[in-house]
Amino acid sequence: MNASFISYLPAKLMAMVFMLFATSVAQASVVIHNTRIIYPQDDKEVTLRLESKNQAPVLVQTWIDSGDEHSTPELAGIPFVVTPPIFRMEPGKQQVVRLAYTGETLPASQESLFWFNLLEVPSQSQEPGQSNQLQLAFRSRIKLFYRPSNLPYDVNAAPAKLQWRRVSTEHGLALEVHNPSPYHVTFDQITVLAAGQRHVREPAASGAENMVIPGGRTRFELPGLKMLPSTAASVEFQALDDFGVKVPHSAEVSP
Protein backbone atom coordinates (compact mmCIF):
# COMPACT_ATOMS: atom_id res chain seq x y z
CA MET A 1 0.00 0.00 0.00
CA ASN A 2 1.11 3.55 -0.73
CA ALA A 3 0.04 6.41 1.51
CA SER A 4 0.95 10.07 1.27
CA PHE A 5 -0.07 13.53 2.41
CA ILE A 6 -1.49 15.69 -0.35
CA SER A 7 -1.49 19.44 -0.79
CA TYR A 8 -4.62 19.51 -2.94
CA LEU A 9 -8.12 18.15 -2.61
CA PRO A 10 -10.75 17.23 -5.19
CA ALA A 11 -13.12 20.11 -5.85
CA LYS A 12 -16.05 18.58 -3.97
CA LEU A 13 -13.97 18.41 -0.79
CA MET A 14 -12.03 21.65 -1.07
CA ALA A 15 -14.69 23.87 0.45
CA MET A 16 -15.27 21.44 3.29
CA VAL A 17 -11.67 21.55 4.56
CA PHE A 18 -10.51 24.99 3.44
CA MET A 19 -11.15 26.56 6.85
CA LEU A 20 -9.37 23.86 8.90
CA PHE A 21 -5.93 24.66 10.34
CA ALA A 22 -3.24 22.42 11.88
CA THR A 23 -0.16 22.17 14.03
CA SER A 24 0.18 18.39 14.21
CA VAL A 25 0.90 15.60 11.76
CA ALA A 26 -2.11 13.69 10.46
CA GLN A 27 -2.39 9.93 10.79
CA ALA A 28 -4.47 7.73 8.50
CA SER A 29 -7.11 6.12 10.67
CA VAL A 30 -9.42 4.53 8.10
CA VAL A 31 -8.09 1.00 7.65
CA ILE A 32 -8.42 -0.82 4.32
CA HIS A 33 -8.85 -4.54 5.01
CA ASN A 34 -6.89 -5.51 1.87
CA THR A 35 -3.36 -4.97 0.67
CA ARG A 36 -4.47 -5.33 -2.95
CA ILE A 37 -7.72 -5.89 -4.88
CA ILE A 38 -8.24 -8.70 -7.38
CA TYR A 39 -11.09 -8.15 -9.85
CA PRO A 40 -11.89 -11.36 -11.79
CA GLN A 41 -13.37 -10.63 -15.21
CA ASP A 42 -16.47 -12.73 -14.61
CA ASP A 43 -17.45 -10.95 -11.37
CA LYS A 44 -20.17 -8.30 -11.52
CA GLU A 45 -18.54 -6.44 -8.64
CA VAL A 46 -16.03 -6.83 -5.83
CA THR A 47 -16.28 -5.40 -2.34
CA LEU A 48 -13.76 -3.75 -0.07
CA ARG A 49 -14.21 -3.37 3.69
CA LEU A 50 -13.06 -0.25 5.50
CA GLU A 51 -12.90 0.38 9.24
CA SER A 52 -12.53 3.70 11.05
CA LYS A 53 -10.10 3.81 13.97
CA ASN A 54 -10.79 7.51 14.48
CA GLN A 55 -12.11 9.11 17.63
CA ALA A 56 -14.24 11.50 15.59
CA PRO A 57 -16.22 11.38 12.33
CA VAL A 58 -14.28 11.67 9.06
CA LEU A 59 -15.22 12.34 5.47
CA VAL A 60 -13.97 9.74 2.98
CA GLN A 61 -13.70 9.94 -0.80
CA THR A 62 -12.77 6.96 -2.97
CA TRP A 63 -11.84 6.59 -6.63
CA ILE A 64 -9.68 4.54 -9.01
CA ASP A 65 -6.88 5.72 -11.29
CA SER A 66 -4.63 4.07 -13.87
CA GLY A 67 -1.31 4.94 -12.22
CA ASP A 68 -1.14 8.73 -11.92
CA GLU A 69 -0.54 9.57 -8.25
CA HIS A 70 -1.81 13.10 -8.89
CA SER A 71 -5.14 11.98 -10.29
CA THR A 72 -8.46 13.23 -8.98
CA PRO A 73 -11.88 11.57 -9.30
CA GLU A 74 -12.88 14.07 -12.00
CA LEU A 75 -9.81 13.29 -14.15
CA ALA A 76 -9.23 9.58 -13.54
CA GLY A 77 -11.17 8.32 -16.60
CA ILE A 78 -11.08 4.60 -15.81
CA PRO A 79 -13.59 1.76 -16.53
CA PHE A 80 -14.76 1.27 -12.93
CA VAL A 81 -17.45 2.75 -10.71
CA VAL A 82 -16.89 3.00 -6.95
CA THR A 83 -19.94 3.10 -4.67
CA PRO A 84 -20.29 5.12 -2.52
CA PRO A 85 -17.79 7.66 -3.85
CA ILE A 86 -18.12 10.03 -0.87
CA PHE A 87 -19.36 9.17 2.62
CA ARG A 88 -19.04 9.95 6.31
CA MET A 89 -17.57 7.39 8.68
CA GLU A 90 -18.41 7.46 12.35
CA PRO A 91 -15.81 6.44 14.99
CA GLY A 92 -15.29 2.68 15.19
CA LYS A 93 -17.69 1.93 12.32
CA GLN A 94 -17.17 -0.10 9.16
CA GLN A 95 -18.09 0.65 5.56
CA VAL A 96 -18.34 -1.62 2.51
CA VAL A 97 -17.23 -0.09 -0.79
CA ARG A 98 -18.32 -1.73 -4.05
CA LEU A 99 -16.29 -1.68 -7.25
CA ALA A 100 -17.98 -2.45 -10.56
CA TYR A 101 -16.33 -2.83 -13.96
CA THR A 102 -18.20 -0.80 -16.61
CA GLY A 103 -17.32 -3.04 -19.56
CA GLU A 104 -14.83 -1.03 -21.63
CA THR A 105 -12.39 -3.19 -23.55
CA LEU A 106 -9.29 -4.25 -21.61
CA PRO A 107 -6.58 -6.72 -22.70
CA ALA A 108 -7.84 -10.31 -22.56
CA SER A 109 -4.38 -11.92 -22.59
CA GLN A 110 -2.95 -10.33 -19.43
CA GLU A 111 -3.85 -8.51 -16.24
CA SER A 112 -4.49 -4.75 -16.20
CA LEU A 113 -3.30 -2.63 -13.28
CA PHE A 114 -5.23 0.20 -11.63
CA TRP A 115 -5.00 1.91 -8.23
CA PHE A 116 -7.72 2.32 -5.61
CA ASN A 117 -7.54 5.66 -3.78
CA LEU A 118 -8.94 6.59 -0.38
CA LEU A 119 -8.89 10.22 0.77
CA GLU A 120 -9.58 10.72 4.47
CA VAL A 121 -10.52 14.21 5.70
CA PRO A 122 -10.78 14.57 9.50
CA SER A 123 -13.47 16.71 11.04
CA GLN A 124 -12.75 20.00 12.78
CA SER A 125 -12.10 19.66 16.50
CA GLN A 126 -14.77 21.15 18.75
CA GLU A 127 -12.57 21.22 21.85
CA PRO A 128 -11.47 24.59 23.31
CA GLY A 129 -8.17 25.79 21.89
CA GLN A 130 -8.27 23.37 18.96
CA SER A 131 -10.22 25.50 16.47
CA ASN A 132 -7.06 27.00 14.94
CA GLN A 133 -5.56 23.71 13.87
CA LEU A 134 -5.34 22.42 10.31
CA GLN A 135 -6.54 18.85 9.91
CA LEU A 136 -4.49 17.40 7.06
CA ALA A 137 -6.13 15.07 4.57
CA PHE A 138 -4.48 11.67 4.20
CA ARG A 139 -4.54 9.63 1.00
CA SER A 140 -3.94 5.88 0.71
CA ARG A 141 -3.52 3.85 -2.50
CA ILE A 142 -3.54 0.11 -3.13
CA LYS A 143 -3.24 -1.88 -6.34
CA LEU A 144 -6.27 -3.15 -8.24
CA PHE A 145 -5.61 -6.03 -10.65
CA TYR A 146 -8.25 -6.68 -13.30
CA ARG A 147 -7.78 -10.36 -14.13
CA PRO A 148 -9.18 -11.80 -17.39
CA SER A 149 -10.64 -15.27 -17.38
CA ASN A 150 -8.96 -18.10 -19.30
CA LEU A 151 -5.37 -17.04 -18.65
CA PRO A 152 -3.05 -20.00 -19.44
CA TYR A 153 -2.09 -20.89 -15.85
CA ASP A 154 -2.66 -19.92 -12.23
CA VAL A 155 -1.23 -16.68 -10.84
CA ASN A 156 0.83 -18.60 -8.27
CA ALA A 157 2.90 -20.11 -11.09
CA ALA A 158 4.09 -16.72 -12.35
CA PRO A 159 7.08 -16.13 -9.99
CA ALA A 160 8.72 -19.40 -11.08
CA LYS A 161 8.62 -18.26 -14.72
CA LEU A 162 10.62 -15.08 -14.12
CA GLN A 163 13.98 -14.81 -15.91
CA TRP A 164 16.86 -13.14 -14.07
CA ARG A 165 20.19 -11.79 -15.37
CA ARG A 166 23.00 -9.47 -14.30
CA VAL A 167 23.44 -6.23 -16.24
CA SER A 168 25.83 -3.30 -16.16
CA THR A 169 24.36 0.18 -15.87
CA GLU A 170 25.75 3.70 -15.53
CA HIS A 171 25.32 3.31 -11.78
CA GLY A 172 27.07 -0.06 -11.56
CA LEU A 173 25.74 -3.58 -11.56
CA ALA A 174 22.04 -4.36 -11.40
CA LEU A 175 19.72 -7.33 -11.45
CA GLU A 176 17.23 -7.43 -14.32
CA VAL A 177 14.09 -9.54 -14.26
CA HIS A 178 11.93 -10.36 -17.28
CA ASN A 179 8.34 -11.42 -16.73
CA PRO A 180 6.99 -13.60 -19.56
CA SER A 181 3.78 -14.32 -17.66
CA PRO A 182 0.39 -12.55 -18.04
CA TYR A 183 0.43 -11.54 -14.36
CA HIS A 184 1.97 -8.67 -12.43
CA VAL A 185 4.57 -9.89 -9.93
CA THR A 186 5.23 -7.77 -6.83
CA PHE A 187 8.37 -8.29 -4.77
CA ASP A 188 9.38 -7.77 -1.19
CA GLN A 189 13.07 -8.38 -0.42
CA ILE A 190 15.42 -9.58 -3.17
CA THR A 191 18.82 -11.15 -2.41
CA VAL A 192 21.57 -12.10 -4.87
CA LEU A 193 23.95 -14.89 -3.80
CA ALA A 194 27.30 -14.65 -5.57
CA ALA A 195 30.82 -15.78 -4.67
CA GLY A 196 29.70 -16.75 -1.18
CA GLN A 197 28.24 -13.31 -0.44
CA ARG A 198 24.68 -12.03 -0.10
CA HIS A 199 23.68 -8.76 -1.75
CA VAL A 200 20.32 -7.54 -0.48
CA ARG A 201 17.96 -5.18 -2.24
CA GLU A 202 15.35 -3.86 0.20
CA PRO A 203 11.84 -2.92 -1.01
CA ALA A 204 11.47 0.56 -2.46
CA ALA A 205 9.06 3.11 -1.01
CA SER A 206 6.98 3.15 -4.20
CA GLY A 207 4.87 0.09 -4.90
CA ALA A 208 5.42 0.49 -8.64
CA GLU A 209 9.20 0.13 -8.16
CA ASN A 210 8.76 -3.29 -6.54
CA MET A 211 6.89 -4.86 -9.44
CA VAL A 212 7.40 -6.26 -12.93
CA ILE A 213 4.50 -6.00 -15.36
CA PRO A 214 3.33 -8.73 -17.76
CA GLY A 215 5.85 -9.04 -20.58
CA GLY A 216 8.00 -6.34 -18.99
CA ARG A 217 11.47 -5.94 -17.52
CA THR A 218 12.52 -4.28 -14.27
CA ARG A 219 16.01 -3.51 -12.99
CA PHE A 220 16.99 -3.53 -9.33
CA GLU A 221 20.14 -1.68 -8.32
CA LEU A 222 22.65 -3.65 -6.22
CA PRO A 223 25.02 -1.07 -4.68
CA GLY A 224 26.87 -3.74 -2.69
CA LEU A 225 27.84 -5.71 -5.81
CA LYS A 226 30.94 -3.99 -7.21
CA MET A 227 32.05 -6.52 -9.83
CA LEU A 228 30.69 -9.45 -11.78
CA PRO A 229 31.49 -12.71 -9.96
CA SER A 230 33.19 -15.42 -11.98
CA THR A 231 31.03 -18.08 -10.35
CA ALA A 232 27.35 -18.77 -10.89
CA ALA A 233 24.92 -16.53 -9.06
CA SER A 234 21.41 -17.14 -7.81
CA VAL A 235 18.59 -14.99 -6.50
CA GLU A 236 16.28 -15.46 -3.55
CA PHE A 237 13.16 -13.32 -3.55
CA GLN A 238 9.80 -12.96 -1.89
CA ALA A 239 6.77 -12.45 -4.12
CA LEU A 240 3.46 -11.22 -2.74
CA ASP A 241 0.44 -13.40 -3.48
CA ASP A 242 -3.19 -12.29 -3.90
CA PHE A 243 -3.53 -11.92 -0.12
CA GLY A 244 -0.33 -9.95 0.36
CA VAL A 245 1.49 -12.94 1.85
CA LYS A 246 5.25 -13.10 1.19
CA VAL A 247 6.05 -16.35 -0.63
CA PRO A 248 9.77 -17.31 -0.93
CA HIS A 249 11.27 -18.32 -4.29
CA SER A 250 14.72 -18.86 -5.76
CA ALA A 251 16.16 -18.94 -9.28
CA GLU A 252 19.44 -18.96 -11.19
CA VAL A 253 20.85 -15.67 -12.49
CA SER A 254 22.16 -15.64 -16.04
CA PRO A 255 25.41 -13.79 -16.79
Measured torsion, CA atoms of residues 69, 205, 252, 249, in degrees rounded to the nearest 10? -90
Higher pLDDT, 226 or 75: 75
Q: 121 by DSSP, 3-state: which?
A: strand
Domains in the chain, ordered, with CATH? Answer: 2-147 (2.60.40.10), 155-254 (2.60.40.10)
Which alpha helices (H) appear in the chain, and where do they start and end?
11-17
Lowest mean pLDDT among 123-137, 164-178, 225-239: 123-137
φ/ψ of residue 43, rounded to 5: -80, 140
The pLDDT value recorded for residue 136 is 72
Pairing of β 86-89 and β 58-65: antiparallel
Residue 201: how many CB atoms within 10 A of its CB? 21
Band of the pLDDT at 164, cuts 50, 70, 90?
Answer: very high
DSSP string, 153-209: S-GGGTGGG-EEEEEEETTEEEEEEE--SSS-EEEEEEEEEETTEEEEEPPPSSGGG
Lowest mean pLDDT among 8-17, 71-80, 92-101, 202-211: 8-17
120 vs 139: CA distance, rounded Å: 6
12 vs 118: CA distance, rounded Å: 14
Nearest to 141 by CA among 218, 62, 202, 214: 62
Q: Give residue-wise pLDDT tens across range 45-93.
A: 999 999 999 889 999 999 999 998 888 888 778 999 999 999 999 999 9
pTM over 0.85: no
